[in-house]
Structure 1
Amino acid sequence: MSAAINFYQQRKHIAEKSAHRQLCCLQGSDLWCQQQALSIIEHSALPYRWCGEAPSSITCSDAKSLLGQDVCLLILNMHKTFDANMFAAAEGSVCAGSVIVLLLPEQQSEIDCFSHYMQQQLKRHQFPILLENQSIANTQPHIVTAKPSPLLRQHLDIPEQQLAIHKIIKTVTGHRKRPLVLTANRGRGKSAALGMAAAKLINQGLMKIIVCAPSKQAVTTLYKHAKLTINDANNLQRLQFIAPDALNIEQPACDLLIIDEAAAIPIKLLAQFAQRYSRVVFATTQFGYEGSGRGFALRFLQQLKLISPQYRTFQLEQPVRWAKGDPVEAFTLSSLCLMESTLAMHTLESQQKTQIRVLKKTELLQSGTLLNQIFSLLVNAHYQTKPSDLVALLNDQDLTLIVMQQEDKILAVALVKHEGGLDNITSEQIYQGKRRPVGHLIAQSLTFHSGFELAATQRFARIQRIAVQPDLQQQSFGSQLLNWIVDWATTHAFDHLSASFAGSDYLLRFWLKNQLQVLRIGTRKDKSSGQHSLMVNLPLSQQGEELHHQIQTEFHKQVKVQLSRQLNQLDASLVAILWPQIVVTKSIQNIKQSLSAYINAHRGYENVEYLLIELLHITSLKGLTQQQQRCVIEKIIQNHSWQSIVQTHQFSGQKQAQTFLKNCICDLLTKTTTTEENTQHNETR
């Protein structure tokens, strides 16, 4: 029997005895590692999955495709680089008593800091490593001899699981407008509980349950357990899947709305669903490869409290796929910084000075606590943060990490990506659509989409992430950090300071307040956020100023047309915030006279629409209420149908909507005229 098979059997025995999972780490040449993995597969005779490069005889699996599956033997080939996303997504599919065979290279590249870091973590968590032609490295871990937890049962009968199912059912049978927020770490049976509860409700006669998630793949486990629990397979059609954007547009009626992996859906949409549907379950993974549950809890629950003050929460803590204290789970959450930082900020010491500085990657490698603080804050702040962002944090030489700290506590953090500075030929190829260099988001977009041939030759400092401790937000720490970054970027000869973000009122106000201006709005909604992306920019050099002005001039012309076409679904509140930057205010006297028959008589909207468009393009909307601003933008600028206006603003019908719009225009003309008269009076004094 080979050393590798013997080693695997040891790890398998430990896993089965404790009802945990174990890592079987093999380190050597790629050929040797693959040969040993093949021998383990043959010897174990277990169904297996292989992720990463594999021999031609092996069919590879995509890590995300393993979600919802029970894997008995998992091979992960990390020879090219340690793929954090692959590891985090795949390990959760491995059930109790099973082994993950981890294939590691003999030597890591000197510049691959992340692989060195993960090697350190394997040692810290005391996972032994079998070296090619050598004995086992690392110390054998301490084996818990206490009575093991029972292995995963085919039917979930753990009391906590049954309580979760009861609470889901209570959402339907109890009072209206009391949504349930269900959170759990991976492996706690959250999706299984949702599926079982849905099936039980259908067995009891419920006619229609809608399941919403970022993708159909995300609800594989939910449907699997619903199918196992439902009495009549034909009734499974009552459990209907719908994507978030389709749910928002179609607004189908249902007896219960279940939203799984809610943290990956824009909070604005979740809030609308909470308002629209009276019986809703919001479920999400708290820690896991998605890396977004904590930020979801912080931001969404604040809004949900305003919509449904009597909302309920429940957290699943008991693992059902493995026993408590699983070493692989501990390794994953700790090494990939998916656990909440133990040094979370609560108060700021007023007597102590704060410091802003560039943090070197070597400092992160030397202090796991510091790394965990920083990455935990990034995960809290941004729903799209993934384990691969940790890889970039340690490996990307064009990424600068800037922190605001007080002694050893991190108050705020920013990641600044170095973009542009490309040669003329490359920039021209981007302009022609022949090249799309990785890592140059802003530089590439302004060259290709905005149509400025040599834009990518200039240097852009793109703020990829900026985050402030939750307890310290709304106290100008973000603006202080941003001002420091402006000085830093100027000193380091960048031509621009830029950012790209999913459109939201709060973020747009933040960037505009700090003097960055919008240069582009994406014409398609981002798949992850469900929002249009906005690009903002602050020129820092003379040539940067010239390019910025040219792009901005073209953008203002372009966006006025796009708002009635490609951007006609852009949130009107964003347009209202952006409007002062777009319009060039002029006298409205000529238009006012032409509109008198519309305001004072019965001239129809369709006959004066062109005049109303012209009016809005030269008028500030500050004098109108928020609802009035939204209404005039949606109807006049974005060309929404009357039916849409009636539905959005909850008018009784088209006649009321037309009267409201006419009153908006009347108020706008009156207030604009008063402002013009006051200006003229002051000028003649």
Structure 2
Amino acid sequence: MAERSGYRQLQLLQDASLWREYCEARSESSIYLSNLQTHADAVLSRYRDYLGHEFEQVWIDCHDGLHADAIAALCGTVTAGGLLSILLPAESNAMSHRMERFAAKHFAESNIKPYSSVNKTETRSANETLQLTNEQNSIFNALTQSTAKPCETHIITAERGRGKSTLLGQALAQAKEHSSIIVTAPRKANAKVLLQQAPEAHFVAWDKLLEQPGNSEVTLIIDEAAGLPLWATEQLCQKFNPWLLATTVAGYEGCGRGFAVHFTDWARKTLPQVSVHQLTQPLRWPINDPLEQWLTDTFLMNEQPVTQFGRRESGTFIKHASELEEALLQQCFQLLLSAHYQSSPNDLNLLLTEPGHKLAYQSTNGEVTAVAWLMSEGPILSPLKEEVRQGQRRPKGNLLPQAIGYFLQQDWAMDLHWLRVARIAVPAAKRRRKAASELLAEIYRWALDNNYQMLGTSFAWSPGLDNFWKKNGYALWRLSSRIDSVSARPAAIYALPLTNEFTELYRVCQLLGQWGQNQLQWLSDGKEMLQLTDEHNEIRTSLIQAYRSKTIPFDAAHFALAQWFYWQHSNHPLTELLCNSSTTLKHLGEYWGGVSQRQANENLCKEVCLLH
């Protein structure tokens, strides 16, 4: 059936020896990823290297843990009649059960056995099919006509296997004679098909392109745009003339669906003329391919809004994701995907398999009106606690206690039971109606009832988010001086103690809230704000000692050093430089005659030791 129809097959096995026996007989046109086997083609984390390629068979060893992002991305590289074979984890869990449940559903409907033996099949490469479909041709005509309109930008979204890159390549080949065109992508391999269609095209790595001077005469094409940081895509569009931006809208690298929402909104507000196109017809495999249907259902990639709500309950609920009925789980996850650019299939795996993760949601007659992803963190016990404070260990699943214990040197934070609000989302049509704040209030009550001691959150800082969290009682404790590569904004930590105001914990939390707020004002207003920091001696001393002992880096200690020099060494020649929030180790290196940043840090450490 698979060979005649072109339908792709799925093989799920838990027996490692049997799976590896099958794997040894795999097709020559195949890829094998494993973290455990040295003879594999690559480890699972290198899955992005193979995007833009095509294989008859893809073998993924998940025996030591599922890698949902790799599965979702590489599924799209399997050609018609081919096979995706996955070795499941040694211990079954909610995610592996989900994979098996939807395999039985979709492959039974197509009369294909999900665990059938592996047969080499004749497949048709997308590269061999250059005749455009009606859907492609309609977009192609719009693209080629727009070459005469230098200010028109086209955004093309598609699921994998829809011929997006082939379409771009042919449009590029047609337009090449009209102007200077540059192609970029997260990796050159991502633009492989596009460049094969237009071999004379000039490819430039996106980070190198950002370093070049802007030129509105240069036409820009970005393939797999969701794989770039959103800020980088926006900067490239402002430096050059953006003609085509295309991306896959499900499965990997920041989740293209989130990109489509956020970037399209930005583009329509910023660029002169924007047209959005969508490719829906699969080309690498038949319509209703069971493997694609399995992937969509298993990892909740369906963009269509949920219309069947199941039990029409109303209220606020906090449950583990594995306890939710399918329609409710799909609503919650779709909302998280649409609201957060960096969502991915691995998020669903975490929600279903991590016992300390919960979904808090509000629903009205079964329709979700707000959702939050909650993570239980801490306590971190000795001797691991001291290793975290020294920066030697970073235990997974403990972002807040380990970040506060290390970057702020507050080891008591590692003794506490934290509840982190990892994400919170409200449908666009229901925002500014206090739904998110109402949900946070319910989370506060639930955390109290379940013996948590601290609430917290961490995100890429912005003025709007700062205002929202402060309105809900959370205080800024730390603002990183490093800029996140994806959001182009600093990471921030906010916290809210679950204790009354007469405790020592409350007092320390108040001090940390003042510290964070003063740091924010220092970063925006400069040296003048340091006169408000005299009460911070307790925190300041801990951070300076950690810097002297080379436990924390300069950027983590900079605010403390600025205060210390301001209050204790106002006449020192370094004071003016250190009190400037934009000073970096590069600037300090220039101060010491052009030494390296590493040497500048050494010099500053020695100076602090002499003065302390």
Do the two structures share a fold, i.e. TM-score over 0.5? yes
Q: Quick one: distance in 1 between partners of 2:225 and 2:40?
A: 35
2:195 is the alignment partner of 1:226: yes
Q: Match for residue 333 of structure 1?
A: 296
Tell me the distance in 2 between the aligned counterparts of 1:451 and 1:96: 56
The aligned residue for residue 355 of structure 1 is 315
Aligned partners of 1:415 and 1:425: how far apart in 2?
A: 30
- Deviation sequence 1:352-406 (CA, Å, 0-9, x none): 9941111244422xx2222211111111111111111111111111112111011
Which of the residues 97, 101, 105 maps onto 1:116? 97
Once the two structures are superposed, the pairs formed by residues 417-432 of structure 1 within 5 Å of their partners are: 417-432=375-390
SS of structure 2 residue aligned to 1:547: helix
Give the C-alpha shift of residue 20 in structure 1: 2.6
Contact (CA 8 Å) 1:22, 1:328: kept in 2 or not?
A: yes
Residue 204 of structure 2 is matched in structure 1 by 240
User: Which of 478, 484, 496 is the aligned partner of 1:526?
Assistant: 484
SS at match of 2:341: coil
| Alignment-derived partner of residue 194 in structure 1 | 168
Match in the other structure for 2:590: none
| Aligned twin of 1:161 | 136
Task: Label 1:271 to 1:427 Cα distance change in 2 as closer, same or farther (>3 A).
Answer: same
- Is contact 1:19-1:150 (8 Å) kept? no
For 1:223 and 1:360, how far apart are their aligned partners in 2?
42
Residue 247 of structure 1: CA displacement?
A: 2.1
Match of 1:435 among 375, 393, 398: 393
Counterpart in the other structure of 1:459: 417
Cα distance in 2, alignment partners of residues 178 and 247 from structure 1: 21
Question: What is the CA-CA distance between 1:248 and the residue it aligns to?
Answer: 7.7
Determine which of 259, 272, 289 is the counterpart of 2:222: 259
Tell me by how many angstroms 1:93 deviates: 0.8
Q: 2:67 aligns with which of 83, 87, 108?
A: 83
- Could you tell me whether the CA contact under 8 Å between 1:193 and 1:222 is conserved in 2? no
2:278 corresponds to which letter in structure 1?
Answer: Q
Q: What amino acid is the match of 1:182?
A: I
Match of 1:36 among 16, 22, 36: 22
- Given that residues 96 and 152 in structure 1 are in contact (C-alpha distance below 8 angstroms), is that contact kept between their aligned partners in structure 2? no
Which letter does structure 2 place at the counterpart of 1:47?
Answer: S
CA offset at residue 450 of structure 1? 1.3
Superposed CA deviations along residues 609-635 of structure 1, whole A, max 9, x for unmatched, are: xxxx99xx9xxxxxxxxxxxxxxxxxx
What residue is the counterpart of 2:33 in the other structure? 51
The one-letter code sitting in structure 1 at the alignment partner of 2:54 is D
Q: 1:549 aligns with which of 506, 510, 520?
A: 510
CA contact (8 A) 1:345 1:471 kept: no
- The answer to whether the aligner puts 1:15 opposite 2:2 as a matched pair is yes
Superposed displacement of residue 251, structure 1: 3.5
Whole-Å separation in 2 of the counterparts to 1:344 and 1:277: 42
| 8 A contact 1:521–1:534 mirrored in 2 | yes
Secondary structure in 2 matching 1:383: coil
Match of 1:283 among 246, 251, 272: 246
* 1:513 is the counterpart of 2:471: yes
The alpha-carbon deviation at position 445 of structure 1 amounts to: 0.8
1:298 aligns with 261
Q: Tell me, what secondary structure is at the counterpart of 1:297?
A: helix
Aligned to 1:568: none
Give unpaired runs (5+ residues) of structure 1. 1-13, 130-135, 141-148, 347-351, 564-574, 587-612, 618-635, 641-685
Which AA in structure 2 matches 1:242? W
* Equivalent residues of 1:128, 1:139 under 8 A apart: no
Which amino acid counterpart does residue 95 of structure 1 have in structure 2?
A: T
The 8 Å contact of residues 265 and 529 in structure 1, kept in 2 or not, is answered as no
Distance 1:286 1:508 in 2: 30
**Paired position in structure 1 for 2:571:** none
Cα distance between partner residues in 1 of 2:124 and 2:249 = 24
Q: Shift in Å at residue 468 of structure 1?
A: 0.9
* CA displacement, residues 59-87 of structure 1 (integer Å, 9 cap, x when unaligned): 44542222011111222233334432221
Instruction: Return closer, same or farther for 1:418/1:371 CA change in 2, 3 Å cut-off.
Output: same
Q: 1:385 aligns to what?
A: 343
Is contact 1:114–1:391 with CA below 8 Å preserved after alignment?
A: yes
Q: How many Å apart are 1:315 and its aligned residue?
A: 1.0
Q: Is the 8 A contact 2:230 2:486 kept in 1?
A: no
Q: Using the TM superposition, give the Cα deviation of residue 108 of structure 1 relative to its aligned residue in structure 2, in angstroms.
A: 3.7
Residue 101 of structure 2 aligns to which amino acid in structure 1? Answer: Q
Paired residue secondary structure (1:68): coil
Residues in 2 aligned to 1:163 and 1:399: alpha-carbon distance in whole angstroms: 46
The 8 Å contact of residues 229 and 485 in structure 2, kept in 1 or not, is answered as: no
Which has the higher Rg, Structure 1 or Structure 2?
A: 1
Residue matched to 1:674: none
Change in 2 beyond 3 A, CA 1:581/1:283: farther
Q: Over aligned residue pairs, what C-alpha RMSD do you find? A: 3.7
1:579–1:260 CA distance, 2 compared to 1 (3 A): farther
* Mapped partners of 2:466, 2:510: distance in 1: 19
Letter in 2 for 1:209: I
Distance 1:381 1:54, change over 3 A: same
- 1:370 aligned residue: 328
TM-score, L = length of structure 2: 0.76
Q: Alpha-carbon deviation of 1:339?
A: 0.8
- 1:286-685 map, 5 Å: 286-290=249-253, 292-308=255-271, 310-343=273-306, 354-364=314-324, 367-541=325-499, 542-555=503-516, 563=523, 575=524, 584=532, 638=582
Cα–Cα, structure 1 residues 420 and 580, in superposed 2: closer, same or farther, change >3 Å? farther
Secondary structure at the counterpart of residue 126 of structure 1: helix
Question: TM-score, length-normalised on structure 1?
Answer: 0.69
Q: Deviations over 1:135-179 (max 9, x none)?
A: x98899xxxxxxxx98735142223334434434444x2323321
Superposed displacement of residue 554, structure 1: 4.4
Separation of aligned partners in 2, 1:416 and 1:499: 9
Q: State the 1:21 CA deviation.
A: 1.4
* 8 Å CA contact 2:320, 2:355 repeated in 1: no
Per-residue deviation at 1:329? 0.8
Structure 1: which amino acid aligns with 2:19? C
Q: Which runs of 5+ in 2 are unaligned?
A: 117-122, 535-561, 567-579, 585-612
C-alpha separation between the residues in 2 aligned to 1:490 and 1:579? Answer: 40
